[in-house]
């Protein structure tokens, strides 16, 4: 359902408001690097992994879809903004400017649409765009993860097998690192072990539910955060709609709350 601290992990970690964080090297800004160099924040582990994405599309746009998949593969691996010509291709292919959005926001808009589809897959319903591409009223879908264990839509896969839809795949290769406050390195090592299942045998065994709950605790999430992620609370359709629509403002408010708590603790010492 998303990380309640994204995209503020680095800021919260630097301020001491977050004990442990899972981050990409691209997330390390100059302030965080200074904290790492000083020893205040410690890298406790890193792991490389590959993600596979699929663009479902109608046969008519096969050539375009292949080009788009290559552009997105390069961008998602390098984190370097595509050139103006490639951005225009992306905007045109996915009609990213239809709702008065500007081309410079293409990545954020695309990510938002990908999140909507991912949520639909987890909730086991078809999003409007999934229905539209199956009916042929739109030419393609935004990229979807298809790795083992990820939710998939059988109708889309069957449409590919019948030749009704095509599929253009690409992969991203990520290096993810776990950082911790210098006073929380034990927690950081436990998080790395449990999250990536590397050395997890050195910790008390937990079932899947309790393991996920422990990971959430190590990351500084609240019990309410975990209940939302695990689907044990806030599942009323109206409540869920409100939660999704207010996600960004809630993340900002959480960040401000955590930072104010740190400032209050320092002033009371």
Tell me the whole-structure pTM to 2 decimals.
Answer: 0.64
SS3 label, residue 24: coil
Please report the beta strands in 108-230, taking only residues with DSSP state E, as ranges in sequence order. 144-145, 166-181
> Rounded mean pLDDT of 226-253?
82
**What pLDDT score was predicted for residue 100?**
43
Cα–Cα distance measured from residue 13 to residue 4, given in angstroms and rounded to the nearest whole number: 14
Lowest pLDDT segment from 145-154, 156-165, 181-190: 145-154
DSSP symbols for 233-252 = SS-SHHHHHHHHHTHHHHHH
Is 101's pLDDT higher than 60? no
Per-residue pLDDT tens digits for 227-238 = 887 778 887 888
Which H helix or E strand runs over 160? helix 154-162
> Rounded mean pLDDT of 101-108?
62
Is 97's pLDDT higher than 70? no
> Rounded mean pLDDT of 140-169?
91
DSSP strand pairing (144-145 vs 41-57) = antiparallel
**What pLDDT score was predicted for residue 208?**
83
> Rounded mean pLDDT of 80-89?
91
> Rounded mean pLDDT of 247-260?
88
> Rounded mean pLDDT of 168-178?
91
Is 102's pLDDT higher than 50? no
Query: Is the alpha carbon torsion for 136, 137, 142, 146 positive or negative?
Result: negative
Is 103's pLDDT higher than 60? no
Cα–Cα distance measured from residue 61 to residue 165, given in angstroms and rounded to the nearest whole number: 10
> Rounded mean pLDDT of 164-176?
93
**What pLDDT score was predicted for residue 70?**
97
Q: DSSP assignment, residue 147? A: S
Lowest pLDDT segment from 26-30, 35-39, 104-108: 104-108
The mean pLDDT of the chain is 86
Q: How confident is the model at residue 6 (pLDDT cuts 50, 70, 90)?
A: confident
Please report the beta strands in the chain, taking only residues with DSSP state E, as ranges in sequence order. 20-23, 41-57, 144-145, 166-181
**What pLDDT score was predicted for residue 52?**
95
């Amino acid at each position: 359902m998303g990380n309640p601290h994204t995209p503020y992990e680095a800021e919260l970690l630097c301020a001491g408001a977050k004990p442990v964080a899972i981050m990409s090297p691209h997330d390390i800004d100059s302030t965080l690097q200074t904290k790492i160099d000083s020893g205040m924040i410690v890298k406790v582990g890193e792991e490389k992994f590959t993600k596979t994405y699929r663009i479902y599309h109608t046969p008519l746009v096969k050539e375009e879809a292949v080009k788009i998949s290559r552009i997105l593969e390069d961008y998602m691996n390098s984190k370097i903004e595509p050139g103006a010509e490639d951005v225009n291709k992306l905007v045109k292919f996915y009609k990213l400017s239809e709702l008065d959005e500007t081309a410079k926001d293409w990545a954020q808009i695309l990510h938002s649409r990908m999140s909507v589809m991912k949520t639909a897959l987890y909730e086991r319903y078809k999003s409007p765009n999934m229905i539209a591409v199956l009916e042929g009223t739109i030419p393609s879908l935004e990229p979807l993860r298809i790795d083992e264990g990820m939710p998939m839509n059988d109708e889309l896969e069957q449409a590919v097998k019948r030749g009704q839809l095509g599929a253009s795949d690409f992969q991203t290769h990520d290096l993810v690192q776990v950082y911790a406050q210098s006073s929380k390195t034990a927690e950081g090592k436990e998080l790395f072990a449990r999250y990536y299942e590397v050395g997890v045998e050195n910790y008390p065994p937990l079932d899947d539910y309790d393991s996920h709950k422990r990971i959430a605790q190590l990351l500084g999430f609240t019990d309410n955060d975990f209940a939302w992620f695990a689907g044990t609370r806030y599942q009323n359709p109206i409540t869920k709609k409100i939660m999704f629509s207010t996600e960004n403002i809630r993340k900002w408010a959480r960040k401000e709350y955590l930072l104010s708590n740190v400032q209050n603790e320092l002033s009371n010492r």
